[in-house]
């Protein structure tokens, strides 16, 4: 039976690297509510009206709509995407809508890039709705899929006492990754070791033993 000694762990040790550009963005500035700019509605309207008739087939059960139908549909789309409240900070633009028992947060980055850090979404939810409200990001049936290119949606239950029937029951937050540093008395120096990730840590340690 192989044991893991200090030199063997050092063969595959990983030292914490400097913070990446994505990680450095975790310090979000507070959101500021921005008055809705009606010019944005007109820009969106013009962009939609400039699309060929085939663009609207998905909204018309496969039919090619005439000009009157396209104008009517464009106006419906513009009104549906106009949020009562808009908030902006150094990285994100968030549209907030309230409907019945839900709060919808539509999130986009100001630079148009994909959103990758769920901690940002957690902080957005906490700041704009509240830390004790629960939200979900829905992956819908294809028949009602909406994909607006790097636009994300959180659906927040408006009752702060509501809890989803799935998810963890207790809070457990680690500020730093957990590292395996070897057996007691044979540990490598603090800050080194093998990151404990899912169920592949044992295999990577065994390869070096």
At 191 the pLDDT is: 60
Coil, helix or strand at residue 97: strand
β-pair partners for 92: 109
Question: Token digits for 176?
Answer: 């730093």
Residue 118 Cα distances to 60, 121, 122, 131, 138, angstroms: 36, 5, 6, 15, 14
pLDDT in tens, 180-204: 666 665 566 666 667 666 556 566 5
Tokens in use for 186?
């044979």
Which position has the higher pLDDT, 21 or 6? 21
CA–CA distance, 156 with 17 (Å, rounded to integer): 35
H or E segment and range at residue 10: helix 6-11
Hey, what are 208's tokens? 């070096």
Q: So what's the pLDDT on residue 100? A: 86
Mean pLDDT across the stretch 65-80?
A: 85
pLDDT tens sequence across 13-31: 444 444 444 444 558 899 9
pLDDT at 172 over 90: no
Token pair, residue 120, equals 């940002």
Q: What backbone phi and psi angles, to 5 degrees, belong to 113?
A: -80, 165
Q: Which token pair is 54?
A: 């085939």
Residue of 119, 77, 82, 112 whose CA lies nearest to 97:
82
DSSP 69-83: HHHHHHHHHHHHT--
pLDDT for 168 beyond 80: no
Record the pTM: 0.63
Q: Both tokens of residue 77?
A: 């789309």
Q: Compute the 3-state secondary structure of the chain and give helix, strand, coil in percent, each to the nearest 5.
A: 30, 15, 55
> What's the pLDDT score for residue 13?
40
């Amino acid at each position: 039976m192989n044991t893991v000694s200090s030199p063997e762990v050092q063969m595959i040790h990983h030292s914490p690297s400097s913070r990446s550009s994505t990680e450095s963005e975790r310090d979000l500035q507070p959101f500021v509510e921005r008055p809705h700019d009606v010019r944005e509605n007109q820009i969106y309207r013009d962009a939609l009206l400039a699309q060929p008739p085939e663009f609207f087939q998905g909204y018309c059960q496969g039919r090619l709509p005439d000009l009157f139908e396209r104008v009517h549909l464009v106006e419906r789309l513009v009104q549906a995407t106009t949020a009562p409240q808009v908030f902006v900070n150094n990285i994100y633009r968030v549209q907030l809508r309230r409907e019945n028992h839900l709060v919808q947060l539509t999130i986009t980055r100001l630079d148009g890039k994909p959103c990758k850090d769920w901690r940002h979404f957690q902080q957005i939810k906490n700041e704009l709705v509240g830390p004790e409200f629960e939200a979900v990001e829905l992956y819908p049936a294809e028949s009602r899929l909406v994909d607006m290119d790097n636009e994300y949606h959180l659906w927040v239950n408006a009752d702060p006492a509501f809890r989803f029937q799935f998810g963890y029951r207790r809070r457990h937050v680690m500020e730093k990754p957990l590292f395996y540093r070897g057996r007691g008395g044979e540990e490598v120096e603090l800050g080194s070791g093998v990151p404990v990730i899912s169920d592949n840590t044992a295999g990577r340690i065994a390869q070096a033993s």
